[in-house]
Amino acid sequence: MTSHLKQVDATTTSLRDSTQPNIAATASEAAQARVPDAATPRSSATTASPKQAANWRAIMQRRILATDLLVLIWVVYGTQIAWFGLGAADVTMRADTRITDLSYWSFSGALVLLWMWALSLIDSRSERVIGTGSIEYIRIVDSSVRLFGIIAIGAFLLRVDVARGFLLISLPVGVLMLIVSRWLWRQWLISQRQLGKYSARVLLVGSETSVAHLAKELQRTPSAGYVVVGACVPNGRVAATIEGTEIPIMGSVNAVDRAILATSADTVAVTSTDELPPDKVKQISWGLEAGKQHLILAPSIVDIAGPRIHMRPVAGLPLIHVETPRFSRGQRVTKRTMDLVLVGVGVILISPILAFLAISIRLSSDGPVFFRQTRIGLRGKEFSMIKFRSMVTNAEELLADLEKEQRDAGNEVLFKMKNDPRVTPIGRIMRKFSLDELPQLFNVLGGSMSLVGPRPPLPKEVALYATHVHRRFLVKPGITGLWQVSGRSSLSWEDSVRLDLSYVENWSLVGDAAILAKTAKAALAPGETAH
């Protein structure tokens, strides 16, 4: 124990000395300046060892490579056997070509290899995209479509007759199975990251305020794969911790190289540059080992999606351009078309369920089947939102006392209660699975709502809005949205606003599809939606 404490003291002294310009540390001292486990944050006590952390990227890439190969072999050869059978079949050539006939067994093998190559060329297995975000899936689709397009063009130019059915089946099935296999790996990776494994070890560099903010955001989402192991701040109070966190301060911003050795960090995240010396970021970048250590710049902008952010180098400066949110006529038409098609088909399919629920409400309690409520929609205009009645008929009379109880709990704008006493027995079941929201499909058909969008607020809630919150009215309110799939009734008011504005700022069809997919899962989870 005594020797352990001496080691901690030696490490602290070594790091503090590194901040003095007149004292140069030797390489051997830096190599010995290892922070023991006791000096790391307790929240990262379950993290993998530095050696394991350094190898997780290569391990994941090899595993995904092997899985991709097995998936493509199964899909391509399975499609061939289903289309041609086990007998011999050849890719036919036109009479005027000099290319000899090619067996489909060989053609399928070449297709598998080309497909694997295409996935590698677009970096679909890069550690920068696997495990989080939609870029991994987008690259799979992009590379696959490009490959089959090139094959089609090549077959036309070389006058090769490839069975169209074989290609038309292989492409969508292959893409689907690749995405499914990557999704399964992602779920496994997320479960490991919850334990602190298979994550980048991050050293934060910047002011204490910016470091604390970024650290809390990263710790709140461990599935992103970043474990904070230390920080370097301008004042360099060695062995102290960042206020409000358990992250140790490893020294000043001039001791980044030694702090990397001490914490075995493989990623340096610069959170602010205001207090850094000129060219310090460049020096940090030059000191990192190529391919094994990474530099991240974390600008102070949040909830802005990638499509709105563009990098443009000007006079050697990497300028970040953030576009203002735009909603073109084409985007609105596309979104409206998607709403009409999906809702039209959905209403037809679930009409028996709608009829059953309506009869159940009528027979179980007195009052109308539907409940209409005034809400605020697109451009701040009022509309009548339709829901199945899930409460007693005098629910509004009981609201005042419940709102007072909610204000005492700290939420002064958005009324939500997990165990609302006004809810009827059949209403409780409907709200648990969001079935009371189904009549809003008719609001979508009528044009006052969309399938996906911000939560439609009450007029009295809007009266309490801050000015910036009114940006949520740039799009139609939705039956579901980020607010529903990210916490439902457990969300605070600030989180609800942040999610709604994030949706408005970064709307996309791909994002809508992802929210719709998550909604089914959220609806089956126990709990109640924010009404």
Output the domain CATH number for residue 43.
3.40.50
Claim to verify: residue 41 and residue 111 sit in the same structural domain? no
**The domain containing residue 109 runs over which residues?**
53-194
Q: Does the pLDDT at position 317 exceed 50?
A: yes
- Which among 52-61, 69-78, 190-199, 356-365 has the top mean pLDDT? 69-78
Q: What DSSP state is assigned to residue 245?
A: S
CA distance 417 to 411: 11
**Confidence (pLDDT) at 345:** 93
Claim to verify: residue 505 and residue 357 sit in the same structural domain? yes
Claim to verify: residue 292 and residue 388 sit in the same structural domain? no
User: 423 CB contacts (<8 Å, ≥6 apart)?
Assistant: 390, 391, 431
Claim to verify: residue 221 and residue 180 sit in the same structural domain? no
Q: Does the pLDDT at position 100 exceed 70?
A: no
Domain boundary at 146, 175, 194, which? Answer: 194
CA distance 382 to 416: 21
Contact call for residues 124 and 140 (beta carbons, < 8 A): yes
Window from 4-8, 53-57, 169-173, 420-424 with minimum mean pLDDT:
4-8
Contact call for residues 272 and 206 (beta carbons, < 8 A): yes
How do residues 259-301 score in pLDDT, each as one tens digit? 888 888 888 888 876 667 767 777 888 878 777 788 888 776 6
Q: How many H-runs (helices) and E-runs (strands) does the chain carry? A: 17, 14
Q: What percent of the chain has pLDDT over 70?
A: 71
Domain boundary at 194, 214, 249, which? Answer: 194
Average pLDDT over residues 373-401: 83
Contact call for residues 243 and 32 (beta carbons, < 8 A): no
**Confidence (pLDDT) at 246:** 79
Claim to verify: residue 426 and residue 488 sit in the same structural domain? yes
Specify the DSSP element, H or E, that contains 111: helix 104-121
Claim to verify: residue 385 and residue 479 sit in the same structural domain? yes
Residue 410 falls inside a structural domain: yes
Claim to verify: residue 111 and residue 215 sit in the same structural domain? no
**Confidence (pLDDT) at 487:** 58
Number of domains observed in the structure of the chain = 3
**Confidence (pLDDT) at 102:** 59
Residue 8 falls inside a structural domain: yes
Choice between 401 and 55, residue whose per-residue pLDDT is larger? 55
Domain boundary at 141, 170, 194, which? Answer: 194
Residue 79 falls inside a structural domain: yes
Claim to verify: residue 404 and residue 480 sit in the same structural domain? yes
Choice between 320 and 246, residue whose per-residue pLDDT is larger? 246
Claim to verify: residue 40 and residue 88 sit in the same structural domain? no
Average pLDDT over residues 184-188: 92
Claim to verify: residue 175 and residue 203 sit in the same structural domain? no
Residue tagged 């540390």 (tokens): 25
The pTM of the whole model exceeds 0.85? no
Window from 199-203, 315-319, 339-343 with minimum mean pLDDT:
315-319
Average pLDDT over residues 109-129: 90
Q: Does the pLDDT at position 73 exceed 50?
A: yes
Window from 27-31, 104-108, 256-260, 398-402 with minimum mean pLDDT:
27-31
Residue 531 falls inside a structural domain: no
**Confidence (pLDDT) at 427:** 85
Residue 113 falls inside a structural domain: yes
Claim to verify: residue 7 and residue 59 sit in the same structural domain? no
**Encoding tokens for residue 120?**
């590698």
The rounded mean pLDDT for the chain is: 76
Residue 495 falls inside a structural domain: yes
Residue 324 falls inside a structural domain: no
Spatial CA neighbour of 288 closest among 193, 197, 198, 205: 205
Residue 311 falls inside a structural domain: no
DSSP assignment of 414-430 equals: ----TT-TTB-HHHHHH
How do residues 435-451 score in pLDDT, each as one tens digit? 888 999 999 999 999 99
Choice between 26 and 247, residue whose per-residue pLDDT is larger? 247
CA distance 132 to 225: 8
Average pLDDT over residues 92-96: 50
Q: Does the pLDDT at position 524 exceed 80?
A: no
What is the band of 31 on the pLDDT scale with cuts at 50, 70, 90? very low
Claim to verify: residue 40 and residue 74 sit in the same structural domain? no
**Confidence (pLDDT) at 522:** 66
